[in-house]
Structure 1
Amino acid sequence: MSWQAYVDTNLVGSGKVQKAAILGQAGGVWASSPGYTLSAEEQKAVLSAFTSPDTVLASGIRLAGQKFFTLSANDRSVYGKKGGDGAILVKTKQAVLVAEYTAPVQAPEATPVVEGLADYLISVGY
């Protein structure tokens, strides 16, 4: 399956995620939903969020020009909120899944979709 298919089918296709991207930990965007563009600075911040969770907890995270307040962050997952909307970032062995959901979808609906895909990618070496 192509990386784009994971974004289109597994994330956005779930109906629980509105925008998504898969970033390579070595850099670069492997796939993204149409019109969802993370700047080079935002990509760098996403990747560094997992090595310095305290920083992202203090300052939040910016995705596609929108700033999210960080609810929790650790070496696997970062969860953000902006009004009724939210963001879920999950690190796998080689990639980082970046997903945004919008109200009325809530975190308990979107989180298992993103975390589940991350678990699958980890299980197959990615």
Structure 2
Amino acid sequence: MSWQAYVDTNLVGSGKVTKAAILGQAGGVWAASPGYNLSPEEQSAIVKAFSNPEATQASGVRLAGQKFFTLQVNDRSIYGKKGADGCVIVKTKQAVLVTEYAAPIQAGEATTVVEGLADYLIGVGY
């Protein structure tokens, strides 16, 4: 399956994620939903955010020009909120899944989808 298919089918296609991108930890966008553009600075900051959870918790994350307040961050996952909307960012062995969801989608619904795909990718070596 192509990286774009994971975005289109597993993430956005689930109906629980409204925008998604898959980044390589070494840099670059592997796939993204149409019109979802993360700047090079945002991409770099997202990848680095996992190594400094305290700073990420304090400053939040910026995705496609939108700032999300960090609700929780650990060495695998970052959960953020912006009004009624939110983001779920999950690191795998080689990639970072970056997703956003919009109300009325609940955080738990999006989290289940994104974390599930991350578990699968980790299981197959990515």
**TM-score range relative to shorter protein:** over 0.9
Instruction: Please report the TM-score for the alignment, with normalisation by the length of structure 2.
Output: 0.99
Residue aligning to 1:43: 43
Spell out, residue by residue over 1:28-56, the C-alpha distance to the aligned partner (whole angstroms, 9 max, x if none): 00000000000011001100111111111
Distance, in Å, in 1 between the alignment partners of 2:3 and 2:50 is 22
Quick one: distance in 2 between partners of 1:42 and 1:106? 25
Shift in Å, 1:87: 0.2
Residue deviations 1:41-87 (CA, integer Å, cap 9, x gap): 10011001111111110000000000000000010000000000000
Structure 1: segments with no counterpart, 5+ residues = none
Gapped regions of structure 2 (runs ≥ 5): none
Q: Please give the TM-score of this superposition, normalised by the length of structure 1.
A: 0.99
Q: CA deviation at 1:90?
A: 0.2
> Given residue 77 of structure 2, which amino acid in structure 1 is its aligned partner?
S
* Moved >3 Å (runs of 4+): none
Identity in percent: 78
Instruction: Give the Cα–Cα distance (whole angstroms) in 1 for the partners of residues 59 and 50 of structure 2.
Output: 14
- The answer to whether structure 1 residue 52 and structure 2 residue 55 are counterparts is no
Pairs aligned (count): 126
Aligned to 2:119: 119
For residue 25 of structure 1, what is the amino acid of its counterpart?
Q
RMSD across aligned positions (CA): 0.3
The residue aligned with 1:24 is: 24
Q: How far off is 1:4 after superposition?
A: 0.1
2:70 equivalent to 1:70: yes
2:89 is aligned with 1:92: no
Distance, in Å, in 1 between the alignment partners of 2:47 and 2:117 is 18
What letter matches 1:100 in structure 2?
E
